[in-house]
Amino acid sequence: MQQGRLQGKAAVVTGSATGIGAAVAVAFAQAGANVVINYTRSETEARATADLVKETGAEFRLAMGDVARDDDCRSLARAALDAWGRIDILVNNAGVTKFAAHHELDALSAEDFARIYAVNVVGPFQMIRACRDALKAGGEGAVVNVSSIAGIAGVGSSVAYAASKGALNTMTLSLARALAPEIRVNAVCPGYVGTRWFRDRFGPERFEKIDFEQAQAAPLKRAGQPQDIAEAVLFLSSPAARHITGDLLAVDGGLHLSLPR
């Protein structure tokens, strides 16, 4: 990480207790930003992430909140404003899914769709709305939505998840137009990322097999790690990307090249 790339900036990172979100929070802190670390249930893990942020010398605030709730989104924005009087960067990382084979249409209910959309689509919209005025005030606000190649290729853990990420991609384009020139809006679209979430769901042995298989499937022959996504988010949030908005950046080792369109 290049030290000082975000010196003095204030960032809100949703879903930053574990995985990609935690890696983003730490990367931002290493680059000089102060960070709001958000969690819904994983308070212990959020405090562990906060300890890593603290080691960098950056300031942080822990904020519990469900982005599906507009009041919680506004509270996250206030946490940054009360602490530092500014919001320069918003990373919409919080997300949920339900595993269901795409051909098993009866495996998903309307309630499943509603919850997945509430967190994956409505949540980012509400967070952007809550932070908009502060992001605009600085004149160089940056929003990065953590999407997925599922939203590009119609693959992933379920039809509902893929559809939600497709909607998030479309919203990224819409708001990039609407909020320019003061706020840039981009998305990163990871492929498989070897997080603790996969290990906890499938167990260590199955996780290692999945990790290996995903590495073999990608043209770059490596499985994605949270740090890979964090570095892409850091780039899109930084002055180095000052001329980029409305972009959907695939960060997947080239996996999208061989997926069905």
DSSP per-residue letters across 128-194: HHHHHHHHHHHS-EEEEEE--THHHHT-SS-HHHHHHHHHHHHHHHHHHHHHTTTEEEEEEEE--B-
Q: Is residue 153 part of a domain?
A: yes
Residue in 95, 76, 80 with CA at minimum distance from that of residue 15: 95
Answer yes or no: 39 catalytic: no
Does some domain include residue 220?
no
Q: How confident is the model at residue 1 (pLDDT cuts 50, 70, 90)?
A: very low
Position 259 in a domain: no
- CATH number of domain containing 31: 3.40.50.720
What amino acid is encoded at 84 in this protein? W
- Which 3 state secondary structure label does DSSP give 92? strand
Q: Which residues contact 128 (CB under 8 A, 6 or more apart)?
A: 90, 92, 143, 175, 179, 185
Is 203 a member of any domain? no
Order of all β-strands in the sheet with 183-190: 60-64, 34-39, 10-13, 89-92, 141-146, 183-190, 248-251
Per-residue pLDDT band for 3 (boundaries 50, 70, 90) equals low
Which pLDDT belongs to residue 117? 98
Q: Tell me whether residue 217 is in a domain.
A: no
pLDDT of residue 36: 98
Q: How much of the chain, in percent, has pLDDT values that exceed 70?
A: 98
pLDDT digits (tens, 9 = 90+) for 6-46: 999 999 999 999 999 999 999 999 999 999 999 999 999 99
Whether residue 81 is contained in a domain is answered as: yes
Examine residue 206 and state whether it is found in any structural domain, yes or no.
no
Peptide bond into 226 cis (omega under 30): no
C-alpha torsion sign, points 58, 226, 163, 253: positive
Tens of pLDDT, residue by residue over 190-248, are 999 988 777 777 788 888 888 898 889 889 999 999 999 999 999 999 999 999 999 99
pLDDT in tens, 43-62: 999 999 999 999 999 999 99
Q: Which domain holds residue 159?
A: 10-195+227-251
Instruction: Supply the mean pLDDT for the chain.
Output: 95
Residue 104 lies in a domain: yes
Task: State residue 156's pLDDT score.
Answer: 92
Active-site residue, from 39, 117, 161, 192? 161
What pLDDT sits at residue 210? 83
The torsion of the CA quartet 114, 121, 194, 24, rounded to 10 degrees, works out to: -140
When divided into structural domains, the chain yields a total of 1
